[in-house]
Amino acid sequence: MIIFNNIVGFKNHLRKLKNDNVKIGFVPTMGALHNGHTSLIKKSVLENDYSVVSIFINPTQFNNINDYKSYPINISRDIELLDSISENIILFKPDTEEIYSGKVVSDSYDFGDLDKYMEGKHRKGHFQGVATVVNKLFEIVSADNVYFGEKDFQQLRIIEVLVQKNGYKLNVIRCKTIRQNDGLALSSRNKKLDISSQNIATNLFKALSFAKKNFDTLDLEVIYAKVEDLLQNFPQISIDYFAIADENDLKPIKHKKKNQKYRAFIAADISGVRLIDNIKLY
Closest CA to 241 of 265, 211, 274, 214: 265
- Cα–Cα distance for residue pair 26/170, rounded to 1 Å: 10
Task: Give the contact letters, 33-52, x = binds to ligand AMP (CB under 6 A), - = no.
Answer: ---xx-xx------------
- Cα–Cα distance for residue pair 59/57, rounded to 1 Å: 6
Q: Identify which range of 81-89, 148-156, 194-202, 235-243 contacts ligand AMP by CB under 6 A.
A: 148-156
C-alpha pair distances (Å), 163 with each of 100, 146, 185: 21, 10, 26
What is the size of the binding site for ligand AMP (CB under 6 A)? 17
- The catalytic position among 37, 122, 126, 255 is 37
Q: What are phi and psi of 131, to 5 degrees?
A: -65, -40
The least CB distance from residue 30 to ligand AMP, in Å, is 4
Distance of CA 261 to the CA centre of its chain: 20
Using CB under 6 A, which of 24, 114, 175, 184 touches ligand AMP?
A: 175
255 is catalytic: no
The least CB distance from residue 58 to ligand AMP, in Å, is 8
Using CB under 6 A, which of 1, 7, 17, 30 touches ligand AMP?
A: 30
* DSSP output for 142-155: --SEEEEEGGGHHH
Using CB under 6 A, which of 91, 114, 143, 186 touches ligand AMP?
A: 186
Using CB under 6 A, which of 53, 178, 193, 237 touches ligand AMP?
A: 178
Using CB under 6 A, which of 126, 151, 157, 192 touches ligand AMP?
A: 151
Angle between helices 35-47 and 75-85 (to 10 degrees): 40
Contacts for 225 with CB less than 8 Å, ≥ 6 apart: none
Q: Does 59 bind ligand AMP (CB under 6 A)?
A: no
**Chain residues that interact with ligand AMP, rule: CB under 6 A:** 29-30, 36-37, 39-40, 148-149, 151-152, 175, 177-178, 185-188
| Residues known to be catalytic | 37
